[in-house]
């Protein structure tokens, strides 16, 4: 794992990028081969390619189209690893190419794999998603992500190796704290003997990871965008943490509910949208490109207004 | 996702395989390219191959040697996905080949990825690890795992789609309940307002997933093998769940502490060992093959004695 020389802290990079691009919008890419944009061809797939290779090539072209159409309104892409992994080894190749495409469009790359493990296993995941792994045969490059999502269930030693890997690469982590799905009530919302819900204990842990460097912390949180009052609690518990905010649009959240997220700055409220952009043409008509760009522009403006 | 016709329930397959092979031992494969068995060559790597391709070919040959040496004493392999993913796309290829090798040696395949996500994303992970995904260009095969590990933090809707995918393929899941790492104290052990620790709430949920079919449940649990009294509690909470038991050997657990795990049958106590087999020659001398086989045989016998 070759350490970049004095990587700029993620919190600075994130704050700078959101300010420069004037947007906290994150393009969520979770491509389904059966629902790609109309007219998408599996570019580069050769005759005799396997179904996985064909599908991966088509997914890559779809992602290229979506990124090209919406990049100017976004600060990052969030790559849903599962959607690439299900295509097998060719999907993994495509994942790397889409990350490169996003970078070439000036976007940060958030790898959404929700990994959680300890010790050398966690370090292996971090190597895979950030800066790669030094083998006896040379360096195997990683995905080059700027940030990743992490599952906290196993505890502090299932978070620390990811943050260590992130810092080495000038990257960050987003720990699942209070997610937007109904099942969050089952464990995340469980009231502890101390009176607080479990998610608040996790939030305190995340806040404690902040080393005070950078304009924002490099240990962030995934927080569902579906309940404004809870978001204020989350912000109080993690004053400098960037929030990754899924749930706007398809899951019923609105940008107006997010003001607490933006308190430390525009980069602290990363509004993640997928279907609301990628399927905008199904509502509004027009080309997928134009509909996605218009939806992204509208959401970006709404964010800027709420962020003030 | 092509459903196999009337797949036999995982609990039956597991009970049958452990009885037939006379062992509940699981070979953990978490290969580090810098610590492969002496004399391992990257078989099949061609001149000009990338470092990742070289390392993946060497890892594959190492895993082949370990599987060949120990298979007769084991019922399954547990593949640590992170260790393959860190080699990039070639590592993903190797993962598929090692799973096929394990199957050819009569072993069940447990994919240890500790995935946790909801809805279509969880379904995509399940497709990736079990039976693959139907694309408009044909079927992209999955890893063909018999079981996978799952992280429960996000709640019931982050577990159900994995179990659904598993059942479609006659497979099972192992939900992280009470792990063997020190950080388990941070959240898993948190006392709830009801007086029980969080892990017990998760255990109750896992027990509730049992549909009563098969000799054992197909919803199992990952339980650290490091505290016998807790294991009795875990067994009481999940009477028919197969336990995946890491922590014997390197992490200080002993087989003698595991008797509660075996109460529902030999297949309910899957003792997972990695370093204790793969690095046995560093302690005992001899060839890695002979040392691993001897260590596996000894552990297998110890398990049978405790299982009674």
Those of residues 225-264 in B touching chain A at CB distance below 8 A are none
Region of residue A252 (left: phi > 0; alpha: psi -120 to 50; beta: else):
left
What tens digit of pLDDT does each residue of A78-121 get?
A: 999 999 999 999 999 999 999 999 999 999 999 999 999 999 99
Helix or strand holding residue B15 (H, E): helix B10-21
Q: Is the model's pLDDT at B189 over the cut of 90?
A: yes
pLDDT at position A226 = 76
- Cβ of B181 within 8 Å of Cβ of A137? The answer is no
Q: Is residue A122 part of a domain?
A: yes
Q: How far apart are CA B204 and CA B185, in angstroms?
A: 19
CB A42 within 8 A of CB A207: no
3-state secondary structure of B187: coil
Q: Which candidate from A86, A159, A186 shows the least CB-CB separation from B133?
A: A86
Chain A: nearest CA to B20, how far in angstroms? 32
Concerning whether B114 is annotated as a catalytic residue, the answer is yes
Contacts of A185 in chain B (CB under 8 A): 155
Residue B168 lies in a domain: yes
**Interacting residues of A209 by C-beta distance below 8 A, sequence separation 6+:** A159, A163, A217, A219
Name the DSSP class of B192: B
Quote the pLDDT of residue A251: 67
Helix, strand or coil for residue B232? helix
Asked, for residue B137, whether it belongs to a domain, the answer is yes
Interface of A with B in 114-143 (CB under 8 A): 114-122, 124-125, 127-128, 132-142
In a domain, A37, yes or no: no
Residues β-bridged to residue B149: B174
CB nearest B33 (choices: A116, A118, A136)? A136
What is the secondary structure of chain A as a DSSP string?
A: -PPPTTPPPHHHHHHHHHHHHT--EEEEE---GGGPPTT---TTPPTT--HHHHHHHHHHHHHHHHHHHHGGG-SEEEEEHHHHHTT-HHHHHHHHHHHHHHHHTT-EEEEEEEE---HHHHHHHHHHHTT-EEETTEEE-----SEEEE--TT-GGGTHHHHHHHHHTT-EEEEEEE-SSGGGGTTTTPBBTTSSBHHHHHHHHHHHT--S-SSS-SEEEEE-TT-HHHHHHHHHHSTTPPEEE--BSTTSB-GGGGGGGGTT-GGGEEEEESHHHHTHHHHH-S-HHHHHHHHHHHHHHHHHHHH-
Structural domain containing residue A164: 110-272
> Is B4 domain-assigned?
no
* Burial grade of A64 (CB within 10 A; 0-12, 13-18, 19 or more): middle
The CATH number of the domain holding residue B144 is 3.20.20.70
pLDDT tens digits, B43-85? 998 999 999 999 999 999 999 999 999 999 999 999 999 999 9
Identify the band that residue B5 occupies on the pLDDT scale cut at 50, 70 and 90: low
Task: Give the mean pLDDT of A256-281.
Answer: 96
CA–CA distance, B57 with B93 (Å, rounded to integer): 10
- Nearest residue, CB atoms, B153 vs list A117, A137, A176: A176
Interface ipTM: 0.96
Whether residue B3 is contained in a domain is answered as no
Residue A20 scores a pLDDT above 70: yes
The widest CA-to-CA distance across chain B, in whole angstroms, is 63
Q: What is the pLDDT at residue A2?
A: 47
Q: How many domains does one find in chain B?
A: 1
Q: Is B86 on the interface with A (CB under 8 A)?
A: yes
∠ CA B227-A205-A194 to the nearest 5 degrees? 70
Q: Mean pLDDT over residues B202-231, rounded?
A: 94
Confirm whether B109 is domain-assigned. yes
Q: Give the mean pLDDT of chain B.
A: 95
Identify whether B1 is part of a domain. no
Residue-wise pLDDT tens digits, A52-76: 999 999 999 999 999 999 999 999 9
Q: What pLDDT is attached to residue A250? A: 67
Q: How many CA atoms are closer than 13 Å to the CA of A307, on its beta-carbon side?
A: 22
Q: Say yes or no to pLDDT of B100 above 90.
A: yes
């Amino acid at each position: 794992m070759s350490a970049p020389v004095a990587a700029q802290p993620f919190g600075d990079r994130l704050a700078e990028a959101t300010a420069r691009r004037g947007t906290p919008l994150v393009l969520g890419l979770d491509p389904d081969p059966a629902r790609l944009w109309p007219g998408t061809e599996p570019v580069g797939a050769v005759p005799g390619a396997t179904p996985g290779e064909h599908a991966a090539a088509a997914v890559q072209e779809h992602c290229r189209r979506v990124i090209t159409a919406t990049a100017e309104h976004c600060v990052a892409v969030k790559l849903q690893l599962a959607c690439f992994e299900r295509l097998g080894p060719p999907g993994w190749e495509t994942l790397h190419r889409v990350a490169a495409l996003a970078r070439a469009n000036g976007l940060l790359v958030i790898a959404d794999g929700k990994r959680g493990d300890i010790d050398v296993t966690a370090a292996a995941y971090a190597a895979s998603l950030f800066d790669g792994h030094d083998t006896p045969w040379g360096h195997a490059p990683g995905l080059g992500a700027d940030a990743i999502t992490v599952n906290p269930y196993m505890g502090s030693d299932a978070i620390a190796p990811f943050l260590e890997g992130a810092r080495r690469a000038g990257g960050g982590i987003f720990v699942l704290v209070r997610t937007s799905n109904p099942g969050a009530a089952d464990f995340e919302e469980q009231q502890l003997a101390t009176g607080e819900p479990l998610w608040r204990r996790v939030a305190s842990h995340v806040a404690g990871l902040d080393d005070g460097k950078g304009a924002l912390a490099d240990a962030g949180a995934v927080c569902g965008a579906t309940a404004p009052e809870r978001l204020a609690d989350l912000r109080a518990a993690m004053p400098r943490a960037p929030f990754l905010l899924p749930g706007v649009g398809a899951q019923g959240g609105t940008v107006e509910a997010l003001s607490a997220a933006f308190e430390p700055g525009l980069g602290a409220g990363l509004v993640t949208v997928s279907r609301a952009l990628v399927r905008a043409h199904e509502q509004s008509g027009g080309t997928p490109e134009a509909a996605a760009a218009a939806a992204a522009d509208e959401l970006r403006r709404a964010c800027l207004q709420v962020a003030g």
